[in-house]
Every structure is written in C-alpha cells, then in structure tokens.
Structure 1
Amino acid sequence: MYFKRLLPVLLVAFAFSGCDPSPDPNRGEVVAKVYGNYLYESDLTGIVPSGTPIKDSLFLTNSYIDSWIRKRLLIRQAERNLTPRQQDFTRKLEDYRNSLLTYSYETELINQKLDTIVSDREIEVYYNQNKSSFQLRYNIVKVVYVVLPENSKEISTFIKLLTNPDTIISQAIESLAKRYATSFYIGDETWIRFDDLLAQIPIETYNQELFLRNNKFIEIDDAPFKYLIRFKDFIISESVSPLEIETENIRNIIINKRKQELLRKMYEELYEQAIRDNVFEIY
C-alpha cells in the first residue's frame, strides 16, 4: 500500500506516544496522528481521482495529509489558548441550525406555493407605475449596419435600402448582406448599448449624445472596408429605460414581491394559529 511511503518525517514526528487514546481498529489503517487525533486510510477515499498517475496520487495524498496535520495543530493551539467560555459555541451552533432549518422550510414552501407566472400586462402596469425607478446609465440605440469590401459594387444598393426615410427593409438588407457583406447586424427592433456598437464599428465621437442627435445614417471608409450604419432610434443616458430592456428585471421584481408576501402571510398565519392554540406565553 503506497500510503506507507507518505510523509515519513511527519509520520515519525506524530507517531503514537504518551497516553493518547488508541486508534479505532474498525476504521482501518492509521495514516497520520496529531496528539489524540487519527487520520485513517479510509479518510483518504475520494481524494485521488480514478486513473491518476502514481506520482500525482502521492502528491495529492501528501498534500491532503499535510493540510490535515496543520489544521489539527491549529485546533490544538486554539483549544489550549482560548478560555472555556470562548470555546463554547453552543449558542452560535443553535442559531446556525435554526437559520438553516427556517431557510430550508421557506425554500420548500416557496417551491410548492409560489406562482412564478407573470403576465405581460402585469409587467407593463408595474413599469408604468414605476418609471422613475428605471433610469438608463448609458446610451442605447437600435441600429442596422453592413460592412462591405471597399470596392463592392453593391454599396449603392445598400445605401438606398438604409437611407429609406420611411422604414428599414430589414429582410431585404439581411438577404443581400448574407451574399455580399463581410459582416452585418440587423438590430432595428433591439436595443443595444452604444458603447457596444463603438467596439464593433470605427465611429469617432467625443460627445455621444450630440452624435446620436445629429446622425441617422453614416458612411465610414476604413480600408479595406466600407461601413454603412443606420440608426433607427436612440435613448440618451439618464432617460427612462424602455420596457423592452426592463422586462426580465420587472418579472424578477414581481416574483420577489410575491415571495416576500407569501412568507409574510405564512409567518402571520403561524403566529395567529399559535395565539388561538395558546402555545406560548410572555412573562
């Protein structure tokens, strides 16, 4: 058994001595000992993944044993230097157990009784009633862009499609872009951060708000490419964030409010039932 070759110096240093209690014969062979505490070979089960080379197995096992010894030494040092009162964790353990117990019960109650279906109407109503709570912290845009080779014969075609004053014919643009464009993005119905667009397109601007207010369509020559960008819409930072962006956030807020109300009712009903049953007294 290769455990016999592990940590020879440490095993000698912590060998059986004095009047320490004897190891438990039912737990198998002893691997290490610190004062009256024993580490058994069975405790090492699972430390080394199956198929690990012997060299790595020895390293992992040695590391575990060394860590165990250091921890036991620290515990021993703490026991010797802390007063009995400082070592009494009865209250803390009870509080911790109670916290785990109530958390587990609340979680199970929520899993069983919480309604997590939130309608679009509920989301819209909440949004309209709390618009001041949804403020943008960055500029956002709805945009379509196409990147073409600078010598592409289709540039004029894309310019006509992207500069249509009435609408963006996204299906036609996408169909042509798949054939002729180096890359493209059809986001005329989706809000994105303007900063994210700047990371993709070489737009130079020192005032984002001014730029967005003054540009609906731009062309950028950046050899060997031609960039055609059409802004369908924009919203400036610190404005009210649009519903489309806040939908999932609002859904989570509503579900969390339901959760808190479910727990509040549970506590209140529990307390009222206890009063009726006369199960507690206040002195």
Structure 2
Amino acid sequence: MDKLMVRAFILTFVILTSLLAACNRGKPKPVARSFDQFLYPEDLQGVVPRGVTGVDSIQLVRAYIEQWSRQQALLHHAQRNVNINTDRLDRQVEEYKNGLIVYEYEQALVSQKLDTVITDDEIRRYYESREDLFTLKQPILKVSYIQLQSDAPELERVKRLFVSTDFEEQDVLEKYCARYASQYALHDTSWHYVDELVKKIPLSGIGEDNFDQKGRIFEIIENNELYLIILHDSKFRDTHSPLSLVTNNIRNLILNKRKIDLVDQMQRSIVDDAREKNNIEIYN
C-alpha cells in the first residue's frame, strides 16, 4: 500500500471518528485548528462533489483543510497587524455578494435567452464593415509539405508526384507518405500563421522574402530530415486577414455583443418596471 493510500485511510478514519464522536456525545470533535479557530466535520459538507469517492475525495478534503488552515493563519496575522474599518469592509462584502447574485442571474438569463445562431452572412457583413480591424501582424501561408528521412526511397519520384494534379498520382503519393513520412500535409487548404508552421517545418530555410514564390518546391535538409514544401498562397503582415482565418473570432465578437445587449436590456427593463410601479424612490 503506497503512502498516499495510507494517508487517505488515516484521514478518512479521523473524519469518521470525529463524526461518530459528535453523534455519540453531542459535542463535535474538530478536524483541524488554526490559532483560536476550529474546523469541524460538518464544515466539510459539500467539499466533495457528488459522485467523487475513494482517494480522490480524500485528496479534496485534505486540500480544503490545508487551505482553511493557511487562510485562518493569514487572517489571524492580518487582524493583529492592520486597523480594519469594519463598516467599510462590511459594505464591500455586501456589494460583492450582491454583485455575485446579480451576475448569477445574468448568466442564467444569457444561457436561457441568448440567440447563438450566427449566419455566414452576418459574419461576412461584420467583416466587411470592420475589415481594417483584422490586419495581419505576421505572415500567413497555405502550404503542403512532406517530412522524410534524407535517405528515403524514390525521392525523385516523390518530388514529381508532389507537384502532380493527377488524382491517381496523388493517391500513390498519399500511400507513400503514410508509409515513409514522419509527417505530411498534402491537401490542406487552410491558412496558417507562420509562428504555428515553424513548429512543424523549417520555414527559416525558405525566408520571408520567398513567401510569394507560389507553386515552387522548396527542399530543406535539417538533422538528416528532408522537408519538401510547396507554398500555395501567402499574405504578408499589415495586410487584411482573410475572412476564413478570423471567422471564429468574429463569431465570438458577435456573441459577446449579443450578451452585452441582452444584459443591458434586462437591466433597463427591470429598473424601468420598478420605477413605474413606484418600487424605487429617492428621497430628498
């Protein structure tokens, strides 16, 4: 039995013993103390989510007890070393609690009422009306590539197949890559940021000045690996990002705007209704 299991059983025994003692004597036995503050078994209710059992549940309880002990020690030290304006603190606590309650209601409202359907036409209109917002901060590329051992078989044939548009030859190349390539992407039509691609292929061997040489095969050898790379398309920094690259970003922006509008509308409606019914009065 490993140390974690032993500690788990010990902690379980302590907690169960405390609960049993509380039931038998009517006086609960604490499971932890920090200065003059005590943590009792009933304080641990709700710490472990429903369905969590065994060692996982014990780890959660142990973590809670450790956190409680640290928090109480810090609180004790703070109370002894700083003058607390209790009225101001109480107001801040009340404001924070009220803010949390309102936030929970707003989140529930959003989950129930928010229209999450966003059409392609909406995304396109948003993009066209704010195109200057979507400016590239780095180049993007459409590429095909194959990574092989530098001594892989039939390399000249592979290069010929790589530029072929014949379906059958592309199928032959696909099977070859599945057998010999460390990694490959033959039919990817997506845009990729350069800083993402350099994690896969050595673009430094091409150089940004050559990113506009579309259709050319670049051959780069690095660490006994041969990289065959074809640039299909490119866009440079400070130019407009293509719509396909920022579609998800635009979708999130539209959703966020809808959330804000929905919450604002809810707040105005509630306050206006309260005023109409004289439930809000400001006295001079």
2:97 equivalent in structure 1: 97
Structure 1 range deviating more: 153-162 or 225-234: 153-162
Looking at structure 2, the residues matched to 206 and 142 of structure 1 have their Cα atoms a distance apart, in angstroms, of: 14
1:70 equivalent in structure 2: 73
Structure 1 range deviating more: 268-277 or 119-128: 268-277
Looking at structure 1, the residues matched to 210 and 119 of structure 2 have their Cα atoms a distance apart, in angstroms, of: 38
Looking at structure 2, the residues matched to 37 and 226 of structure 1 have their Cα atoms a distance apart, in angstroms, of: 67
Looking at structure 2, the residues matched to 62 and 263 of structure 1 have their Cα atoms a distance apart, in angstroms, of: 38
2:83 equivalent in structure 1: 82
1:270 equivalent in structure 2: 270
Looking at structure 1, the residues matched to 75 and 223 of structure 2 have their Cα atoms a distance apart, in angstroms, of: 67
* Per-residue deviation, 1:256: 1.0
Question: Is 2:273 the counterpart of 1:252?
Answer: no
1:139 and 1:236 in contact (8 A); partners too: yes
2:142 equivalent in structure 1: 142
Return the letter of the residue paired with 1:99.
G
Any stretches of 5+ residues in structure 1 without a counterpart?
A: 7-24
RMSD: 3.9
1:279 aligned counterpart, secondary structure: coil
Structure 1 range deviating more: 231-240 or 196-205: 196-205
* Per-residue deviation, 1:165: 8.5
* Per-residue deviation, 1:113: 0.5
Provide the identity percentage: 28
2:21 equivalent in structure 1: none
TM-score (norm 2): 0.71
Question: Is 2:162 the counterpart of 1:159?
Answer: no
Write out per-residue CA displacement over residues 121-155 of structure 1, whole angstroms, 9 at most, x where no aligned residue: 21122112211111112111111112334344432
Structure having the larger proportion of residues in helix: 2
C-alpha distance 171-110 of structure 1, shift in aligned 2 (>3 A): farther
* Per-residue deviation, 1:28: 1.3
Write out per-residue CA displacement over residues 177-236 of structure 1, whole angstroms, 9 at most, x where no aligned residue: 22343432225401122233333334445851x121246321224474432211111111
* Per-residue deviation, 1:161: 3.1
Any stretches of 5+ residues in structure 2 without a counterpart?
A: 1-9, 15-24
Looking at structure 1, the residues matched to 42 and 83 of structure 2 have their Cα atoms a distance apart, in angstroms, of: 32
Looking at structure 2, the residues matched to 151 and 127 of structure 1 have their Cα atoms a distance apart, in angstroms, of: 48
TM-score (norm 1): 0.71
2:139 and 2:237 in contact (8 A); partners too: yes
1:89 aligned counterpart, secondary structure: helix
2:189 aligned counterpart, secondary structure: strand
C-alpha distance 212-165 of structure 1, shift in aligned 2 (>3 A): farther
Write out per-residue CA displacement over residues 233-278 of structure 1, whole angstroms, 9 at most, x where no aligned residue: 1111221111121111111111111111112222222233233323
What count of residue pairs does the alignment treat as equivalent?
251
2:219 equivalent in structure 1: 219
Looking at structure 2, the residues matched to 281 and 245 of structure 1 have their Cα atoms a distance apart, in angstroms, of: 52
2:205 and 2:220 in contact (8 A); partners too: no
2:143 and 2:229 in contact (8 A); partners too: yes
* Per-residue deviation, 1:119: 1.4
C-alpha distance 28-152 of structure 1, shift in aligned 2 (>3 A): closer
Return the letter of the residue paired with 1:82.
N
Looking at structure 2, the residues matched to 100 and 62 of structure 1 have their Cα atoms a distance apart, in angstroms, of: 25
C-alpha distance 64-261 of structure 1, shift in aligned 2 (>3 A): closer
